């Protein structure tokens, strides 16, 4: 790609999503904008978020307790305002999703309902090197049942050269556990390597052994097209502050397949999960609302939920995940091609090369080890290019199709070349 600059300019000029960049507040580095590749950690602020938060503050100021009941954005039903756009984002039926709590809390709520070990079927299967919070959640759930990781937690080790995991290894691990397997908890995208997985296939393999299939979609939601209902996931959890741009600690998401939504599954219950029609009778018996909403505990933090409305509206206006993914594949493909062509002695892409096995993020191992890696990372920061660092020697770069340009990708590559030259 000798004419990378021409190519980048042409791609940006022809990009149908180009106007969306102006809907984001991009931090400054000196007098220019940062080149921000950290949407996998905290997405940028959509300009529309402030209006949504102010709307809540104003409603509170002007209506106080009446704000629960008045108008289109009454707080009593505020969570339902995001139900349909959220269902579109993850490929679910509206009744299968709810915005509530935070990711790890939702994971515990789901494990409380779906991890029901018996002496014959105690095991949970996850990926080795899982995000610590997921590992803590799973281990603590095992301990709540008097079990432990030594005997009942199966961690599937990477079997591919760059630390990724083949489908064959997952299939083997599931088959080995067989009837001992209670639950598979798998990431949509592994946070460290950026590897994406075939969720429908993993659900199929888990179900074939009589196990539950649950997914952590922290790095997949807003990044990959998802079809949770059709993939036959039993449950899924995710956060909204990464690719969904709903702000630090944003209210998270949860999916419960419709076949479980009516089944009266045991759960950790709270009054907001009680069926809405009779909630305010304040009776002692818990009657769960149908669907994922039946797992709500508390009346939601409305101020924290407000930015999500602005974010989900952007995904809809952008044409949904199909449109975003079309750009994302090109954008990340451009980054991948330039690194392989121009930086091969400096950066090694450890994320799988096949587009179907990755999302926006590329995980880049820096040649020369940790010290060289930190040098490069800090150099990039000083020039206003933000990626993030994963010990011991990996820089993660995630071009987000809503606000990153092909020109941003080129700038990254040119700055690495410059650093290498000095
Ligand atoms: C980001 C992330 C989390 C964060 O958990 P919170 O409860 O939102 O703090 C958990 N698990 C995975 C896999 C993540 O990527």
The answer to which of 83-92, 261-270, 308-317 has the lowest mean pLDDT is: 261-270
State the pLDDT confidence band at 264, using cuts at 50, 70 and 90. Answer: confident
Q: Give the nearest ligand 1 atom to 106 CA.
A: 7
Give the residue-averaged pLDDT of 237-243.
98
Mean pLDDT within 67-83: 96
Residue 55 above 70 pLDDT? yes
Q: Which long-range contacts (CB under 8 A, 24 or more apart) does 256-259 make?
A: 256/96, 256/110, 256/291, 256/292, 256/294, 256/295, 257/96, 257/228, 257/229, 257/232, 257/233, 258/93, 258/95, 258/96, 258/229, 258/291
Give whole-number Cα distances, 263 to 41, 207, 257, 314, 364, in Å: 36, 18, 11, 34, 45
Strand residues in 158-219 grouped as ranges (E): 181-187, 212-216
Separation between Cα atoms, residue 34 and residue 24, nearest integer Å: 12
Q: Is 40 in the pocket of ligand 1 (CB under 6 A)?
A: no
pLDDT at 236 over 80: yes
Residue 79: pLDDT band (50, 70, 90) is: very high
Please report the domains of the chain, with CATH numbers, ordered by start residue.
Answer: 4-33+320-421 (3.90.1150.10), 53-316 (3.40.640.10)
pLDDT class of 263 with cuts at 50, 70, 90: confident
Q: How many CA within 13 A on the CB side of residue 316?
A: 13
Quick check: helix, strand or coil at residue 348? strand
Q: Is 41 in the pocket of ligand 1 (CB under 6 A)?
A: no
- Pocket of ligand 1 contains residue 102 by CB under 6 Å: yes
Q: Is the CB of 255 under 6 A from ligand 1?
A: no
Q: Are strands 45-46 and 97-99 parallel, antiparallel or unpaired?
A: unpaired
Per residue in 352-372, pLDDT (tens digit) is 999 999 999 999 999 999 999
Measured from the Cα of 252, ligand 1's closest atom is 8
Q: In the predicted model, is pLDDT for residue 2 greater than 80?
A: no
| Residue with CA nearest ligand 1 atom 13 | 131
Question: Is 218 in contact with 137 (CB distance < 8 Å)?
Answer: no
Ligand 1 pocket, 239 CB below 6 A? Answer: yes
Beta partners for residue 236, in sequence order? 215, 255
**What share of the chain in percent tops pLDDT 70?**
99
Q: What is the pLDDT of residues 129-163, one digit of tens each?
A: 999 999 999 999 999 999 999 999 999 999 999 99
Residue nearest to atom 15 of ligand 1 (CA): 218
Q: Read off the pLDDT band of 117 (50, 70, 90).
A: very high
Residue identifier of the C-alpha nearest atom 4 of ligand 1 = 103
Written as six digits, the tokens of 43 are 């997405």
The Å distance, Cα 418 to ligand 1 centre, comes to: 34
Tell if the pTM clears 0.85, that is, is over it. yes
For residue range 163-174, list pLDDT tens digits in order.
999 999 999 999
Total residue length of the chain: 422
How many degrees, rounded to 5, is the angle at CA 276 between CA 315 and CA 52?
35
Return the pLDDT at 1.
58
Give the 3-state DSSP-derived string for 88-153, with helices as H, strands as E and coil as C: HHHCCCHHHEEECCCHHHHHHHHHHHHCCCCCCCCEEEEECCCCHHHHHHHHHHHHHCCCCHHHHE
Is any ligand 1 atom within 6 A of the Cβ of residue 197?
A: no
Residue 123 bridge partners (DSSP): 181
| pLDDT number for residue 261 | 87
């Amino acid at each position: 790609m000798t004419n990378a600059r021409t190519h980048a300019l042409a791609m940006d000029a022809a990009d149908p999503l180009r106007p969306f960049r102006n809907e984001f507040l991009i931090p400054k580095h000196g007098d220019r904008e940062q080149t921000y590749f950290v949407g996998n950690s905290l997405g940028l602020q959509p300009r529309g978020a402030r209006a949504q938060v102010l709307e809540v503050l104003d409603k509170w100021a002007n209506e106080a307790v009446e704000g629960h009941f008045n108008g289109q954005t009454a707080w009593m039903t505020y969570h339902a305002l995001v139900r349909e756009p959220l269902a579109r984002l993850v490929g679910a039926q509206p009744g299968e999703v709810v915005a509530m709590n935070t990711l790890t809390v939702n994971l515990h709520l789901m494990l409380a309902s779906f991890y029901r070990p018996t002496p014959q079927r105690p095991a949970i299967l996850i990926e080795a090197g899982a995000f610590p919070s997921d590992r803590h959640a799973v281990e603590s759930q095992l301990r709540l049942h008097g079990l432990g990781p030594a005997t009942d937690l199966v961690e599937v080790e990477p079997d591919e050269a760059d630390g990724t995991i083949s489908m064959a290894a997952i299939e083997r691990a599931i088959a080995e556990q067989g009837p001992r397997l209670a639950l598979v908890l798998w990431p949509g995208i592994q946070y460290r390597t950026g590897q994406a997985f075939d969720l429908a296939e993993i659900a199929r393999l888990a179900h074939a052994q009589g196990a539950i299939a649950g997914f952590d979609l922290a790095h997949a939601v807003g990044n990959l097209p998802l079809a949770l209902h059709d993939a036959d996931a039993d449950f899924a959890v995710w956060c909204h502050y990464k690719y969904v741009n709903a702000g630090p600690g944003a209210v998270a998401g949860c999916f419960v397949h419709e076949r479980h939504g009516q089944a009266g599954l045991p759960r950790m219950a709270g009054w907001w999960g009680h069926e809405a029609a009779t909630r305010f009778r304040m009776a002692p018996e818990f009657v769960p609302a149908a669907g994922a909403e039946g797992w709500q505990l508390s009346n939601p933090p409305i101020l924290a939920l407000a930015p999500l409305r602005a974010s989900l509206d952007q995904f809809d206006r952008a044409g949904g995940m199909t449109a975003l993914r079309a750009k994302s594949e090109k954008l990340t493909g451009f980054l991948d091609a330039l690194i392989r062509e121009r930086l091969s002695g400096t950066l090694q892409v450890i994320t799988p090369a096949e587009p179907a096995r990755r999302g926006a993020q590329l995980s880049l191992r820096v040649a020369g080890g940790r010290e060289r890696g930190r040098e490069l990372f800090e150099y990039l920061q000083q020039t206003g290019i933000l990626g993030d660092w994963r010990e011991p020697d990996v820089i993660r770069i995630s071009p987000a199709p809503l606000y990153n340009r092909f020109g941003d990708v080129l700038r990254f590559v040119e700055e690495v070349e410059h650093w290498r030259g000095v």
